[in-house]
Chains A and B, each alone.
Chain A
Amino acid sequence: MVMPAMSEKERRPEDDGRDFANAAWSIPSYLLAGIILYGGAGWLLSRWTGVAVFTPIGVILGVVLSIYLVYRKFGR
């Protein structure tokens, strides 16, 4: 019998279930937070400067940052 490879810490099967549930319930919340935060900042910047393009830039920056965060946190 070949033992399955273990990561540094010993993992129980229920850990995977918990990690999956954690990720599944946090990811939409992170995406929303990124869009609201940086989209909102961009929108404010647009209002101050009168340059409309800051709003979409902020939204896109927010999406990119939250996807990066989710990837680093849950992507292993």
Chain B
Amino acid sequence: MNALTVLAADEFKAPGLELFEIPPLWDGAPFWLTKPVVLAVLSSLLMIGLCWSAFSNPKLVPRGIQNVAEMGYMFVRDQIARPFLGKDTDRWMGLLLSIFLLVWLWNLLGVVPVLQFPVASHIAFPIVLAASIYLLKIYLGIKHQGAIGYFKNMMFPPGLPKFIYVLLAPIEFLSNLIIAPFTHAVRLFANMFAGHMILAFFSMVGFWFLFEKLTPLGAPVGVVGVLMTIAMTGFELFIQFLQAFLFALLAAMYIGGSLHPEH
């Protein structure tokens, strides 16, 4: 319905922030009951359903859905978890696989026709995930390295001249405890936000110049818009996967860093 209000104008207007201002599902619905919330719940159900049907009754020789899900499991284990967690990998696979699959599903819903909204482009969703990982990181760090040891290992890397710690410890603190979790959430948010905007822009160009205001000069522009929409959707599929991978990878990195101090 946002698209229609934009098209009611007489000149072409690029889509903007109104793409992300989503009203409740129907008049009188609770204010929090919006499309992204429904999509987030749907992704969780899809993920639970996928893992349940794949792993609830596993066969030694995997077939069908178990086969597919095991490929995902192997990918997360070998590419994300093992490099950072080593022998602790198996304990954390449940969490990491869930994060990877959930974020990927969130992102994928951005290009599924009709649904077409990337959940993570509302920053609240990535913030909740990143904040949970952040709390887990601090909890594990204090549990495995001691309350003082954790902050000492973090802020005072060994082997530096004494006086320089005064200058460097604040940088370590700011970097590890404030900037790292912030960028963890923002990276996912910004990629999904920008991707949605780009797709909306090119499909609007195609729609406007081919259907709304068809003119001999405008038609080629509309064709370019349609072609770019297709190309960018392919690119977006790649970015969606990449961002899910990175989000889970950084989670594994933070957990691994808390379990074992560096060097």
Contact = CB atoms under 8 A, between A and B. Distances in A.
Q: A and B: real partners?
A: yes
Contacts, number: 57
B38 interface: no
A21 B249 CA distance: 9
B60 interface: no
A46 to B, nearest CB: 19
A36 B174 contact: yes
Interface stretch (B25-33, B65-73, B175-183): B175-183
Contacts of B164: 68
Interface string B77-94: 000001110100000000
Interface in A42-76: 62, 65-66, 68-69, 72-73
Interface stretch (B101-109, B110-118, B165-173, B207-215): B165-173
A69 B170 contact: no
Given A22-B253, A22-B262, A29 B175 contact: yes
Contacts of A30: 171-172, 175
Interface residues of A, number: 22
A33 B84 contact: no
B74 to A, nearest CB: 16
Contacts of A22: 253, 257, 262
B245 to A, nearest CB: 12
A18 B83 contact: yes
B253 A25 contact: yes
A29 B180 contact: yes
A72 B249 CA distance: 24
Given A18-B84, A21-B84, A30-B175, A69 B168 contact: yes
Given A18-B84, A72-B160, A65 B167 contact: yes
Contacts of B175: 26, 29-30, 32-33
A10 interface: no
B216 interface: no
B83 A37 contact: no
Most buried by A among B84, B86, B168, B175: B175
Given A65-B168, A65-B171, A73-B262, 19 more contacts: A18-B83, A18-B84, A21-B253, A25-B253, A30-B171, A30-B172, A32-B175, A33-B174, A33-B175, A33-B178, A37-B171, A37-B174, A62-B171, A66-B171, A68-B164, A69-B168, A72-B157, A72-B160, A73-B157
Interface of B: 82-84, 86, 157, 159-160, 164, 167-168, 170-172, 174-176, 178-180, 183, 249-250, 253, 256-257, 262
Rank and list the top 10 A-B pairs by shortest CB-CB distance, nearest first: A33-B175, A33-B174, A29-B175, A18-B83, A29-B179, A33-B171, A30-B175, A34-B171, A69-B168, A17-B83
7 contacts: A14-B86, A21-B84, A22-B262, A29-B176, A68-B164, A72-B159, A72-B160
